[in-house]
Amino acid sequence: MMIRRHFSMLRDFHLADWLTLANAFCGVSAVFCALRYMQSGAKHDLIWGLALVPLAFVFDALDGRVARWRQSSSTLGRELDSLADVISFGVAPAALGFAAGLQGGWDWLVLGYFVCCGVSRLARFNITAEQLADGGDKVTHFEGTPIPTSLALVVMLVVAIDAGRIGGDFWFGAYQVGPWILHPLVLAYALSGSLMVSKTLRIPKW
């Protein structure tokens, strides 16, 4: 008779799975930093949050390499990777953008659209991975840009902070459009999300 123990699921995790969880931890911590910045106003909190997203990317890159090296890839690992990526490269960049000043009503909608695009992109990738592998054991290309490309948005925010162009000083200003405020800079999020869900854009996977 098999004895079920507490935390038995964690004991079954491979090394690659722990790296994936490190990715998720960095993403959640980035969100916490965004919240802390909104409370404290201390710029270093926002900078720490932005720095954690590239660190999440490092763990995201390592988990795949380690899984292939140890030949320990699994369906569980793939699902863990997608969930972690949604946090680190979807929710975290949106939260950091909001904390930095993209807080108009239209900004909310665009940031929400960006996150939904990331979720949709990862869900579609998971269910079409076998088709994209073209009968082999490896995916040959991406449909739409991978969600870690949202790192470009993080770089944009870093440049804005360095130039002192956050809060009410974002490039391109802010406009009253109907009932809500729109910061044109938030359209970079709309572009990033739209590229993720494109079915015509194909990017080779190296």
pLDDT, tens digit, 9 for 90 and up, residues 148-179: 999 999 999 999 999 999 998 999 999 999 99
Alpha-carbon distance of 122 to 113, in angstroms, equals: 14
Q: List CB contacts of 68: < 8 A, sequence separation 6 or more.
A: none
DSSP symbol at 72: -
| 138 has pLDDT over 70 | no
State the sign of the Cα–Cα–Cα–Cα dihedral 105, 110, 111, 113: positive
What's the average model confidence in pLDDT over 4-30?
A: 79
Q: What is the pLDDT of residues 57-113, one digit of tens each?
A: 999 998 777 766 656 666 677 788 899 999 999 999 999 999 999 999 999 999 999
Residue 63, pLDDT score: 76
- In the numeric block, the tokens 């993080």 are attached to 154
Q: What is the pLDDT of residue 54?
A: 97
The CATH class, in words, for 14-204 is mainly alpha
- Sort 62 into a burial class: Cβ within 10 Å, 0-12 / 13-18 / 19+: middle
Kindly tell me the sign of the dihedral angle through the C-alpha atoms of 158, 164, 169, 173. negative
Q: Are strands 175-177 and 180-182 parallel, antiparallel or unpaired?
A: antiparallel
3-state secondary structure of 167: helix
List all residues 6 or more positions away from 61 whose beta carbon is below 8 Å from its beta carbon: none
| Residue closest to 86 by CA, chosen among 165, 167, 34, 30 | 30
Q: How far is the first Cα of the chain from the last one, in angstroms, to the nearest whole number?
A: 45
| Between residues 1 and 31, the one the model is more confident about | 31
Give the per-residue pLDDT at 1: 45
Q: Write down how long the chain is.
A: 206
Q: How far apart are CA 81 and CA 19, in angstroms?
A: 9
What pLDDT is stored for residue 124 in this prediction? 86
pLDDT number for residue 128 = 75
Place of tokens 């720095």: 51
Beta bridge partners of 202: 143
Global pTM value: 0.88
Q: Can you give the pLDDT at residue 71?
A: 61
- Are 151 and 57 within 8 A, CB to CB? yes
